[in-house]
Amino acid sequence: MKYPSFPLDDYLSRIQFQGEVRPDLATLKALVRRHAQSIPFENLDVLGGKPVSLEPDDLIDKIVYGGRGGYCYENNGLLALVLEAVGFSFRRVSARPRIFPVLRPRTHMAIVVYLDEQRWLCDPAFGGAMPLEPICIDEPGTKIVQGYDRFRLTLDTQPGGEFGEYYLSTWRDDERDWQTQYSFSLAPQEAVDFIPGNYLNSTHPDSFFRKIPVLVLFTEQGRNILSADRLKIMRDGQTEVRMITPDEYPQVLRDYFLVSGDYPEAQTDWFGKS
């Protein structure tokens, strides 16, 4: 059901979007880009043991008005409300992260927008190597260049299956190879279908998100990444890495990830072990 009162103007102000919004490709690209450059991927509430709500009102209060970001279910959950308010046709898809050494369940949510007989993968909330702009999925195997990032989307069709599996990969210069980020099918999902994965990610003792802070924010020059106490600043194809201290933590969140709202305090066991 359509959310009846999404504060679109306030969201556009939050991401510093300029211009008119309409359900076209130019708007879609600009929305996803500005979202990724304004709203951080972050798991701070999970670390603090605070329940992660996917209710529209809670997403709006936290991200639009609360100076915070969120992980995939929150960030892309909010983006879905935005796309709905603008008038885009889309579906949520369930994705399986492929960056871990063992097989993981489908605990990531992405969005596929249907526009002018083409389909566009929109995902400003995977963390790490994520596309800054939508990727067209109708020409699998094509290499996509976005700034200093290179992506490739491939399709594995299963005999007798209604939905093939798409694999999103990024080029790793350090390994001189493609690294698969996640896979997904176009089997339609409803918002309620992501509640079990959200509960697993936010409460299971083995969840990656419960162990260390992970934040990602795109900038005009690249992106900033914080993993535990390791701050990676990527600018114009160059990468600077430094370790931060507990005293620096609040300023780093504010200056590099635009986090201005309330969040749990840093824990000493995050520091000095990277």
Q: Please tell me which residue in 35, 108, 122, 229 is annotated as part of the active site.
A: 108
| 108 classed as catalytic | yes
Cα separation, 61 vs 43, whole angstroms: 16
CA distances 164 to 83, 89, 161, Å, are 25, 21, 7
Annotate 197-220 with b (16+ C-beta within 10 A) or e (fewer).
bbeebbeeeeebbeebbbbbbbee
Q: Please tell me which residue in 35, 72, 122, 229 is annotated as part of the active site.
A: 72
| 122 classed as catalytic | no
Greatest alpha-carbon pair distance for the chain in Å reads: 57
| 123 classed as catalytic | yes
Annotate 153-174 with b (16+ C-beta within 10 A) or e (fewer).
bbeeeeeeeeeebbbbbbbeee
Nearest to 209 by CA among 90, 70, 88, 103: 70
Q: Please tell me which residue in 35, 45, 122, 123 is annotated as part of the active site.
A: 123
- In terms of Cβ atoms closer than 10 Å to its own Cβ (0-12, 13-18, 19+), residue 176 is exposed
Decide if 137 contacts 45 (C-beta within 8 A).
Answer: no
| 3-class secondary structure, 242 | strand
Active site members: 72, 108, 123
